[in-house]
Amino acid sequence: MTPEPTAVIHDIGYRHYDGVRLGRGRATLALGVQSLRGVFGLGRTIRAKIMPLLLVAIMLMPTVVSIGVMALAKQRVMPYPGYAVFMQAVIAIFLAAQSPYLVAPDLRFRVLPLYLSRPLTVTDYVLAKLTALAVALFGLLAVPLTIQFVGELLVDLPGPPHTADYLGALGGAVLYAVLLSTVGIALASFTPRRGLGVASVIAFYMFTAAVSGLFYAVLRMSGHDSAAPWALLLNPFFLVDSVQSALFGTAPSTGDGYPPGIASCLILLAVIALAVTGVLLRYRKAAS
């Protein structure tokens, strides 16, 4: 005789969902978290992880060297406030490589209508993407700075620790994150092709850096010494550096200083506002 079955599989058919339904805010947060993970290649293919992790490793190198020198030679190598300007090429590559990932696939594969057929609005979507990239960029700057600061405290150099410099640099990191993420997303969202997005962001950085350097040199040589520092502000990294030194009293990373702080602050705000408006307009159009 066969033993009585102890377990039975029932086809219970379709079940309705009567659990919690969270609001728009939580959906936006979920989108932001998913985007942030994606920026660092988490939850994506191995190939997608290589670039961000490589760049993170490069960003950490000066920190490791710096701590080593502090420990062995008892000397400070790299000041905190100048770290972003020093590493600007790496940060620009990170921005160029990752901002198109955040926006281009949704445009190219037309996923956007699926988001918008849910309670999420265009503004929520843009906010989630901008915040994800801003947090990623902040982390990219803040983590090496913090490691270096902890290193400095542990090595215990003669004299007081450079806490004010460290905090000023963290404040600057917030500014970098906001400016670069808005500009990066604005440039990348204009094309559904990821490759073009990468090219346009990197071209933007190279163009502004080159023009800024060129104008600076020309103005200097032609004797317009007071006008020359304004040319520096064309480079987004020097722009933030000047605002950082105006707001947090850090030393400028260039030899002869910047134009008045208030001007830099206004330019920074104007660029951010312009970029955010551009992104919102772009998505209003894409949504209809």
**Binding residues for other proteins, per CB under 8 A?**
13-17, 19-24, 26-27, 30-31, 34, 43-45, 48, 105-106, 109-111, 113-121, 287-288
CA dihedral (171, 172, 177, 182) in degrees, to 10, reads 110
Taking the complex as a whole, the smallest distance from the CB of residue 250 to other proteins amounts, in Å, to 41
Helix (H) or strand (E) holding 97: helix 88-108
Nearest to 127 by CA among 181, 175, 91: 181
Taking the complex as a whole, the smallest distance from the CB of residue 113 to other proteins amounts, in Å, to 5
3-class secondary-structure state, position 46: helix
- Return the number of the residue (94 or 125) whose C-beta is nearest other proteins: 125
| Cα separations in angstroms, 101 against 13, 44, 54, 75 | 39, 11, 16, 41
Helix axes 163-188, 236-248, angle to 10 degrees: 140
Provide the CA 107 distance to its chain's centre, in angstroms: 21
- Return the number of the residue (53 or 150) whose C-beta is nearest other proteins: 53
Taking the complex as a whole, the smallest distance from the CB of residue 39 to other proteins amounts, in Å, to 15
- Return the number of the residue (109 or 207) whose C-beta is nearest other proteins: 109
Taking the complex as a whole, the smallest distance from the CB of residue 282 to other proteins amounts, in Å, to 17
Taking the complex as a whole, the smallest distance from the CB of residue 23 to other proteins amounts, in Å, to 7
| Cα separations in angstroms, 102 against 89, 120, 128, 249, 259 | 20, 17, 10, 34, 35
Tokens 């939580």 -> residue: 26
- Return the number of the residue (30 or 266) whose C-beta is nearest other proteins: 30
- Return the number of the residue (76 or 108) whose C-beta is nearest other proteins: 108
